[in-house]
Structure 1
Amino acid sequence: MKNRTSFLVAHRLSTIRYADYIMIISDGEILESRNHESLMQKKGQDYKMIVSQMGKIN
């Protein structure tokens, strides 16, 4: 998907882990938007969903 804009909708977070930009949307509202690493450091919604799907992160 290089050199183009693509939108990927996913319920499994492992699918979007390497996306350049991730938006967490709930009930039509953007809750968070950054790259995966920044969202994980923030320990916001993305982090909570990853932990619930994949178990505790060291």
Structure 2
Amino acid sequence: MRMGPPIISRAPEVMGGAAVFYGTRVPVQTLLDYLEAGESIEDFLAGFPSVTRAQVIAFLEEAKD
């Protein structure tokens, strides 16, 4: 079980309840879309500076389990 700050959040008033990176309005689906299209994590982070590398790595680590 992962211990630490939250990675994602959902709230009806933020992006219609879509899962977003905690503390941002960036949907996690956007990261998945970038990666599926062959873009790098660096490309994603450059486009969405409110998301940290640590959040991305933690999300991907949790998703693979």
TM-score range, shorter chain: under 0.3
Give the structure with the larger helix fraction.
2
TM-score, normalization by structure 1: 0.27
TM-score, normalization by structure 2: 0.26
Give the structure with the larger strand fraction.
1
